[in-house]
Amino acid sequence: MSLPSPTPAPGRRASRGPSDAPPRVLTIAGSDSGGGAGIQADLKAMLALGVHGMSVITAVTAQNSLGVQGYWELPAEAVRAQFRSVVDDIGVQAVKTGMLASIELVETVSELLSGVAAPVVVDPVGVSKHGDALLAAEAVATVREKLLPVATVVTPNLHEVTQLTGRTVEDESQMLDAARALVDLGPSWALVKGGHLEGEAADLLYGGPDEVHWYRAPRYDNRHTHGTGCTLASSIAAGLAKGESLPEAVGSAKEYITGAIAGGFALGAGIGPVDHAWRWR
């Protein structure tokens, strides 16, 4: 007995055929055992945005709503093997990097990405939401010198801007100079995230004098924002994999993360995650 073909819900397109795979995005990042950030957040965002997420795990963390209790890096050989396994067989249409932790891992990933003809979104993870260090201090220079030059776009928060450029951003008027300083380090574009400033949640995308784009959204009074940076960077990568221009991909990602922040929910005794499934609830 044959079964009828499934009927898509109103507003949803029909399922793809068995040979028509969705766009493919690779995240190279650490695992968050609490499920709010890192690899887990990346894959949730990618699923929500209609792309096929794949992963290269660089480190394993013991992490919950209260903070990071410990992390263990994977050997560079394991990172390289995961990358080659995925890229050489399945292929990628965009890549996102997150927690890389050490000089050796930054160097390894930078070398691997230099041979990939796909856009690269670098989230230069330095500390967790709770203030726990996730990048060795001595590795910051390696991020500047080796990782940023292979990036299509770098997406630092204001603390990471200071780490990378030495500049302190205290208001919106200083964001453009910070973005210029970041692009001078090698990426084609820089997205300076102003989430830690007062007022609207304003982000600035800079790709040169003729490519200055501001993105603004309401600021929600919700402390449960774990995974914001990972989710935004992964969302940008998803948009690029689907063929959007970078300004379009950032706009789509900003709309998605704003809804996810508004829907952030409590878990445990500390800071809960953003809601990656907010569009389905």
pLDDT tens figures, 119-149: 999 999 876 655 566 677 788 899 999 999 9
| pLDDT for residue 65 | 95
| pLDDT for residue 198 | 79
Q: How confident is the model at residue 10 (pLDDT cuts 50, 70, 90)?
A: very low
Helix (H) or strand (E) holding 72: strand 67-73
> What pLDDT digit, counting tens, does each position of 41-87 carry?
999 999 999 999 999 999 999 999 999 999 999 999 999 999 999 99
Q: How confident is the model at residue 108 (pLDDT cuts 50, 70, 90)?
A: very high
| pLDDT for residue 19 | 67
| pLDDT for residue 125 | 85
Residues labelled catalytic: 193, 225, 227-230
What pTM was computed for the model?
0.92
> What pLDDT digit, counting tens, does each position of 181-218 carry?
999 999 999 999 987 787 888 999 999 999 999 999 99
More confident residue, 2 or 206: 206
Which among 156, 146, 217, 210 is positioned nearest to 181, based on CA atoms? Answer: 156
Token pair for residue 52? 């096929």
Q: Which residue has the tokens 């959007």?
A: 244
User: What does the mean pLDDT of the chain come to?
Assistant: 91
| pLDDT for residue 126 | 73
Mean pLDDT, rounded, for 107-127: 94
CA–CA separation, 55 vs 234, rounded Å? 12
- DSSP single-letter state for residue 19: T
Is the pLDDT at 109 greater than 80? The verdict is: yes
Q: Where are the alpha helices (DSSP H) in 64-132?
A: 76-89, 103-113
CB 191 within 8 A of CB 203: yes
| pLDDT for residue 209 | 96
Is the pLDDT at 11 greater than 50? The verdict is: no
Is the pLDDT at 158 greater than 80? The verdict is: yes
| Amino acid, single-letter form, for residue 82 | Q
Is the pLDDT at 12 greater than 60? The verdict is: no
Q: In this prediction, what percent of the chain has a pLDDT beyond 70?
A: 90
